[in-house]
A and B are shown apart, each in its own frame.
Chain A
């Protein structure tokens, strides 16, 4: 079976930063004295930061789609919940809530990541890009247009995550083959069954983003 493939970039980002599950494991032992987040901060050290944060709300700044947002969040709040519940950026969806389905995919420093698998405080100091930042001047991004044209969506709940993952995939693989697409988009799941459209949409978007020069 070809599933369960991690996006290569996702694997890399996991190595760099503490996963949510590791973090929560630590949290259960340290909840009364505040949380040790040395490891998390090591990935994103804001100047002069303490080694301990929480358990109460902490002030952080998230840079999302090029704009800074000041937030007061408990350290346990995930990046996904911060985006959805605190910034009303609801394009990234909460589905599996544990880093499997890709519906919450956002771009961090150019790499696709699962926003449910990161704490908001881990994302401080990084550039976060969401689906809302992909359209410019009210025009659909070429990946979005290709999704519409190929009907790569039904209920649409997995779609924003897929679009963001496709965009990040194409940034890295501007000339993908059919096999590359099946490999590279294995980290996003759809329930309605839109993969036929998605496969074609990625190939079409590759062409349109390069002015029709792709070898797909």
Chain B
């Protein structure tokens, strides 16, 4: 293929790309200097709090806020929902107040007189027979002739029940914002967000609908650091809009961040997914048929079907049917790799059970059937081999049910996953100043994935400068817009816009210095802090000398994605294997080791890429073993909206973790592809399969709690 102007440098020429580089904002974070939304303190700032519905389904019959309004220190009170409104989930917003301190705001909420007419609620969907009118058929697909395939006497059939409960995002920095009206019609907001560029449009539209005249271009949104999002922080949210309105009424800046209970109850939920699944294979292990009846909830709106069957989409005979269940629970939000972790748990569990029934080694079974994932069968086989090597599969695997007299049973489990990850739209403004300073500006955000660092690496690599010679500015809508960080789209977007912008800026610099050097501009290169002739290093200028030739003119260029030359692509595979021990006396599952073999095209920074995978494994261990949004049938409330009973894995819960990034020939030439989602998809399925391998019986649903392990062992297994 002919070289295209913006293409990534060849492997041998890369000075920074593909190396292990520490994140550039690491010192700010580890020293506590990084300012998150929650840390923004403005002069005269007030604190916002929200009165919320204690009922999961109710109608407001009386509301009197006068006592709150007359509380000393209270500066604004706004009814968000008034008498007559029907509330669909506990925790829904009713009244917002702003006061001089958090405690005064809380006191004011207590003084609000409100009455409800309680209505029947439905909050637990696992038992579909109880869902009644809350359950609605929501589609499905059919291919081939599944009935015929299942009735073939030569096939082996496995059927079972699998599921994964609703979990919450539990961002450590809760959702919220600081809002400050800097003039009658100019607003500055500080949202904790995955979507810096998108906030002004959403806030502006909502305010104009409320007859507050403010233009989008008069709203600046700032978010330098965000304390976790995981898919839950794309929108301004009703409380974010209300905060801007409180600030308008009070004439002072207001900070409104959700308290922990509401962060868990209303600001994040990953839909549940349950399914009865039947699968069939020939005796040689070739999968021939799939049938699934799935259901789940994403709150009042229900939820769609996960992509079933997952990864092995080429199963020739298949039928899927899905039921969407609406519940009176806080609405679902995108959670890393929406619907994929659920699909993996359902699919890989059913297929691993089938392998066990066939008395096949699952490594062999999944490798054999990789052709049913036609787009990347070879990648999966490579990754299966690599992951098996890292976990020492040959030595450590045994058929289902660990044959040991000990009460501690050990097992291995595999899962495969896939994701897209194409770069989003991005605009990057590159400035090269006559004094040699360089800025790269774009209204993107760094969720902790290393976005700032990736931008810095790409700019420095392209301009032939050290990392510290470049100022990377993100997180502010005064810079050109860049896409929201979701779906693993950021690295592809920002690396491409930065690359194109820097290449174009460099062209202008070459043009400015070419006459003086007596070298045609297209024969110049930037490397090692110099501009020099490609074939004659004696004809060179230092970066500073070169920039001085600009006189008074700053080079200003905007690079875009999408744009010319292909710098990225879409579609990755990954394989993860878990090694667990199960105490059959207590039911406690312990992670011994997990391995992850993952491709994502050209890796810009190996260090932060690996961190994405380590983090994904740990988040996966957490949802496999600990996490569940537990809803109470009687009150309709979440029973564990706090961090002692909504459990996250601790530092002692994770075992040994090994990450292998698939790089080099065959991967690098695909360009950048996102990595935020893929590695978090498989851990739950791999751990579930490992537990089944250890104890000889499937624990049907995640989280795999001690109680569920013991219940499964009551029915069979090797305790």
| Chain A nearest Cβ from B28, distance in angstroms | 8
Query: Do A148 and B23 contact each other (CB < 8 Å), given the known contacts A155-B172, A155-B448?
Result: yes
Whether, in the assembled complex, B259 has its beta carbon less than 8 Å from a beta carbon of chain A, the answer is yes
| Chain B residues with CB under 8 A of A23 | none
Q: Is the CB of A131 within 8 A of B32?
A: yes
Cα distance A182–B590 when bound, in Å? 14
Cα distance A93–B33 when bound, in Å? 12
| Chain A residues with CB under 8 A of B229 | 155
| Chain A nearest Cβ from B365, distance in angstroms | 29
Cα distance A185–B650 when bound, in Å? 9
| Chain B nearest Cβ from A216, distance in angstroms | 15
Q: Is the CB of A85 within 8 A of B619?
A: no
Write the chain A residue with the least CB distance to B657: A196
**Binary contact track B258-301/A, C-beta < 8 Å → 1, others 0:** 01100000000000000000000000000000000000000000
- What are 17 residue pairs bridging A and B, where the CB atoms are less than 8 Å apart in the complex? A1-B653, A77-B101, A81-B102, A95-B172, A95-B173, A95-B643, A96-B642, A96-B644, A100-B644, A101-B172, A147-B30, A153-B30, A159-B29, A163-B31, A186-B651, A189-B172, A189-B648
Cα distance A189–B643 when bound, in Å? 9
Q: Is the CB of B34 within 8 A of A156?
A: yes
Which residues 41-99 in B have Cβ within 8 Å of A in the complex?
Answer: 41
Cβ-neighbour of B41 out of A90, A158, A183, A199 (below 8 A): A90
Cβ-neighbour of A151 out of B32, B170, B608 (below 8 A): B608
| Chain A residues with CB under 8 A of B644 | 4, 96, 98, 100
Cβ-neighbour of B647 out of A2, A3, A198 (below 8 A): A3
Whether, in the assembled complex, A59 has its beta carbon less than 8 Å from a beta carbon of chain B, the answer is no
| Chain A residues with CB under 8 A of B41 | 84-85, 88, 90
Write the chain B residue with the least CB distance to A152: B30
Q: Is the CB of A93 within 8 A of B173?
A: yes
Of the candidate stretches A8-16, A45-53, A132-140, the one touching chain B is A132-140
Cβ-neighbour of B652 out of A85, A153, A154, A186 (below 8 A): A186
| Chain A residues with CB under 8 A of B654 | 195-196
Whether, in the assembled complex, B611 has its beta carbon less than 8 Å from a beta carbon of chain A, the answer is yes
Q: Is the CB of A77 within 8 A of B23?
A: no
Cα distance A157–B30 when bound, in Å? 9
| Chain A residues with CB under 8 A of B171 | 191
| Chain B residues with CB under 8 A of A160 | 29-32
| Chain A nearest Cβ from B652, distance in angstroms | 3
Whether, in the assembled complex, B563 has its beta carbon less than 8 Å from a beta carbon of chain A, the answer is no
Write the chain B residue with the least CB distance to A96: B643
| Chain B residues with CB under 8 A of A185 | 651
Whether, in the assembled complex, B617 has its beta carbon less than 8 Å from a beta carbon of chain A, the answer is yes
**Binary contact track B649-665/A, C-beta < 8 Å → 1, others 0:** 11111100100000000
Q: Is the CB of A192 within 8 A of B33?
A: no
Which residues 1-48 in B have Cβ within 8 Å of A in the complex?
Answer: 22-23, 25-36, 38-39, 41
Cα distance A3–B35 when bound, in Å? 29
Write the chain A residue with the least CB distance to B173: A157
| Chain A residues with CB under 8 A of B31 | 91, 131-132, 134-135, 140-141, 144, 160, 163
Write the chain B residue with the least CB distance to A185: B651
| Chain A residues with CB under 8 A of B588 | 1
Cα distance A156–B172 when bound, in Å? 9
| Chain A residues with CB under 8 A of B25 | 156
Q: Is the CB of B611 within 8 A of A154?
A: yes
| Chain B residues with CB under 8 A of A95 | 172-174, 260, 643
Query: Do A156 and B611 contact each other (CB < 8 Å), given the known contacts A84-B39, A95-B260, A95-B643?
Result: no
Write the chain B residue with the least CB distance to A92: B32
Q: Please report whether the interface of chain B is mostly helix, strand, loop or mixed according to DSSP.
A: loop
Q: Is the CB of B650 within 8 A of A3?
A: yes
Of the candidate stretches B220-228, B374-382, B508-516, B552-560, the one touching chain A is B220-228
Whether, in the assembled complex, B335 has its beta carbon less than 8 Å from a beta carbon of chain A, the answer is no
| Chain B residues with CB under 8 A of A194 | 611, 614-615, 618
Q: Is the CB of B611 within 8 A of A197?
A: yes
Cα distance A146–B43 when bound, in Å? 35
Whether, in the assembled complex, B607 has its beta carbon less than 8 Å from a beta carbon of chain A, the answer is yes
| Chain A nearest Cβ from B613, distance in angstroms | 9
Whether, in the assembled complex, A193 has its beta carbon less than 8 Å from a beta carbon of chain B, the answer is yes
Q: Is the CB of A189 within 8 A of B23?
A: no
Whether, in the assembled complex, B465 has its beta carbon less than 8 Å from a beta carbon of chain A, the answer is no
Whether, in the assembled complex, B616 has its beta carbon less than 8 Å from a beta carbon of chain A, the answer is yes
Write the chain B residue with the least CB distance to A146: B30
Cα distance A200–B644 when bound, in Å? 26
Q: Is the CB of B657 within 8 A of A93?
A: no
Interface centre among A91, A132, A156, A182 (most CB of B within 10 A): A156
| Chain B residues with CB under 8 A of A74 | 101, 103
| Chain A residues with CB under 8 A of B449 | 154
Q: Is the CB of A157 within 8 A of B650?
A: no
| Chain B residues with CB under 8 A of A103 | 172
Q: Is the CB of B27 within 8 A of A140?
A: yes
Whether, in the assembled complex, B308 has its beta carbon less than 8 Å from a beta carbon of chain A, the answer is no
Whether, in the assembled complex, B547 has its beta carbon less than 8 Å from a beta carbon of chain A, the answer is no
Which residues 606-636 in B have Cβ within 8 Å of A in the complex?
Answer: 607-608, 610-611, 614-619, 622, 625
Q: Is the CB of B33 within 8 A of A94?
A: no
Whether, in the assembled complex, A63 has its beta carbon less than 8 Å from a beta carbon of chain B, the answer is no
Which residues 106-136 in A have Cβ within 8 Å of B in the complex?
Answer: 130-132, 134-135
Whether, in the assembled complex, A207 has its beta carbon less than 8 Å from a beta carbon of chain B, the answer is no
Q: Is the CB of B643 within 8 A of A144?
A: no
Cβ-neighbour of A195 out of B22, B101, B618 (below 8 A): B618
Cα distance A92–B32 when bound, in Å? 7
Cα distance A199–B28 when bound, in Å? 20
| Chain B residues with CB under 8 A of A1 | 588, 590, 625, 653
Interface centre among A84, A132, A155, A197 (most CB of B within 10 A): A155
| Chain B nearest Cβ from A144, distance in angstroms | 4
Cα distance A147–B32 when bound, in Å? 12
Query: Do A153 and B26 contact each other (CB < 8 Å), given the known contacts A182-B652, A198-B651?
Result: yes
Q: Is the CB of A130 within 8 A of B172?
A: no
Cα distance A48–B463 when bound, in Å? 67
| 10 nearest A-B residue pairs (beta carbon) | A91-B32, A193-B618, A157-B227, A156-B29, A193-B615, A154-B448, A2-B652, A155-B448, A131-B32, A90-B39
Whether, in the assembled complex, B384 has its beta carbon less than 8 Å from a beta carbon of chain A, the answer is no
Q: Is the CB of A90 within 8 A of B259?
A: no
| Chain B nearest Cβ from A152, distance in angstroms | 8
Cα distance A182–B649 when bound, in Å? 12
Whether, in the assembled complex, B350 has its beta carbon less than 8 Å from a beta carbon of chain A, the answer is no
| Chain A nearest Cβ from B695, distance in angstroms | 17
Q: Is the CB of B615 within 8 A of A96?
A: no
Cα distance A85–B618 when bound, in Å? 33
Cα distance A77–B102 when bound, in Å? 9
Whether, in the assembled complex, A188 has its beta carbon less than 8 Å from a beta carbon of chain B, the answer is yes
Q: Is the CB of A98 within 8 A of B226?
A: no
Q: Is the CB of A183 within 8 A of B102?
A: no
Cα distance A132–B27 when bound, in Å? 12
Write the chain A residue with the least CB distance to B169: A191
Cβ-neighbour of B38 out of A93, A98, A192, A195 (below 8 A): A93
| Chain B nearest Cβ from A208, distance in angstroms | 14
Give 4 A-B pairs besides A154-B611, A160-B30 with Cβ atoms closer than 8 angstroms.
A4-B650, A96-B260, A130-B32, A151-B22
| Chain A nearest Cβ from B562, distance in angstroms | 28
Whether, in the assembled complex, B187 has its beta carbon less than 8 Å from a beta carbon of chain A, the answer is no
| Chain B nearest Cβ from A62, distance in angstroms | 17
Q: Is the CB of B102 within 8 A of A85?
A: yes
Query: Do A193 and B616 contact each other (CB < 8 Å), given the known contacts A90-B35, A153-B29?
Result: yes
Q: Is the CB of B651 within 8 A of A199?
A: yes
Whether, in the assembled complex, B105 has its beta carbon less than 8 Å from a beta carbon of chain A, the answer is no
Whether, in the assembled complex, A171 has its beta carbon less than 8 Å from a beta carbon of chain B, the answer is no
| Chain A residues with CB under 8 A of B230 | 191
Whether, in the assembled complex, B447 has its beta carbon less than 8 Å from a beta carbon of chain A, the answer is yes
Q: Is the CB of A155 within 8 A of B30?
A: no
Write the chain B residue with the least CB distance to A76: B103
Whether, in the assembled complex, A149 has its beta carbon less than 8 Å from a beta carbon of chain B, the answer is yes
**Binary contact track A152-185/B, C-beta < 8 Å → 1, others 0:** 1111111110010000000000000000011101
Which residues 424-465 in B have Cβ within 8 Å of A in the complex?
Answer: 447-449
